[in-house]
Amino acid sequence: MADFTILGLRVVREAARRGSFSTAAERLGYTQSAVSRQISLMEQAAGRALFERHARGVQPTEAGRIILRHAEAVLGELDAARQDLQDLDARPPGRLSVGAFSTALAALVPRALAALAEQEPHTQIPLREGMSPRLLTAVARGRLDLAVVTQPQQAPDGVEVIRLLDDPLLIAAPPDHALAGRASVTTAMLRNERWITASTEPGATLLGAWSEATWRPDIAFVARDWVAKLGLVAAGLGITVVPGLAVPAIPSAIAVIRIDHPAAVRTTAVAQRAGTPGEHLRRTFTEALRDAAAELSAQLRHRLR
């Protein structure tokens, strides 16, 4: 039994429109015998006649009108697909300039970028790493379309800040450390520890999360790079504070422990200028960030069990 074909459906549609096999052949650039052959194959597939033949032309039978209706739908979808492909080639690529602080680039932003690339594969995404205050300024001045930042107390004029998640601050410790088996620690339990920080000023680092503490940390090493910090921790030379967002990049051999303190949290947000071009890309990327944040939060809860 013959099958319906795209060519056959196209011939049936043209013959019905013209009321003549010969005129359909002329419009399609086929011979009349080729058109008659395609009509015959479609009638074999349908199991009944699709046209009534008359001296002055042809007209669809009831079965022919059914096939014609479906042919219009099928061929219309194919024409739309062809047009979409042509538009894809003609459309200039979108562009979204993104900024983020370093630990957001460990997993949160890369996962969101991967999701955006699947939905908008031709989008160009210049990426900039920096500290949150500078990223906010870059967004305010139009140098960045969007930035992932730690939520500021006050955003620059014209910048909209959208909260993503409250990121817990954690202790990273060597696997054989006395605190390594604990689910959480209080700040008092950290009093006599040796610290690895990015600065000698506690208020300028994540140690500022408990700035009201009555003791000052013993800073053994200063290292700005996260790979260096974790290397020093793994060697047993001290402990450090890490955001939850960085945990996917931390080797499983290093223990991570929750800090039992209300200030041991850092809110992560998206900063953007509302009303500027590229709203669709910004919205799509923000949703991807939300999804990635939820996924990372679930993974963190699993690791801290």
Question: What backbone phi and psi angles, to 5 degrees, belong to 217?
Answer: -70, 150
Note the residue count of the chain.
305
Q: In angstroms, rounded to a whole number, what is the distance separating the alpha carbons of residues 134 and 130? A: 7
* Predicted local confidence at residue 207, as pLDDT: 59
HSE, side-chain direction, 13 A CA sphere, residue 123: 22
Q: In angstroms, rounded to a whole number, what is the distance separating the alpha carbons of residues 241 and 256? A: 9
Mean pLDDT of the chain: 87
Each residue's pLDDT tens digit, 102-137: 889 989 999 999 999 998 888 889 999 999 999 999
% the chain with pLDDT above 70: 92
Model confidence at 209, pLDDT cuts 50, 70, 90, reads: low
SS3 content of the chain, % helix, strand, coil (to 5): 45, 20, 30
Q: In angstroms, rounded to a whole number, what is the distance separating the alpha carbons of residues 69 and 16? A: 11
% the chain with pLDDT above 90: 49
Reduce the DSSP state of residue 96 to 3 states and report it: coil
Q: In angstroms, rounded to a whole number, what is the distance separating the alpha carbons of residues 139 and 273? A: 7
Nearest alpha-carbon partner for 12 in 41, 53, 54: 41
User: Rounded to whole angstroms, what are the CA distances from 1 to 46, 64, 191, 263?
Assistant: 9, 18, 84, 75
Each residue's pLDDT tens digit, 154-205: 888 889 999 999 999 899 999 999 999 888 998 888 888 999 988 877 555 5
Question: What backbone phi and psi angles, to 5 degrees, belong to 221?
Answer: -140, 145
Q: Structural domains in the chain? A: 6-90 (1.10.10.10), 98-165+265-303 (3.40.190.10), 167-259 (3.40.190.10)
Q: What is the mean pLDDT of residues 223-244?
A: 90
Higher-scoring residue by pLDDT: 182, 210:
182
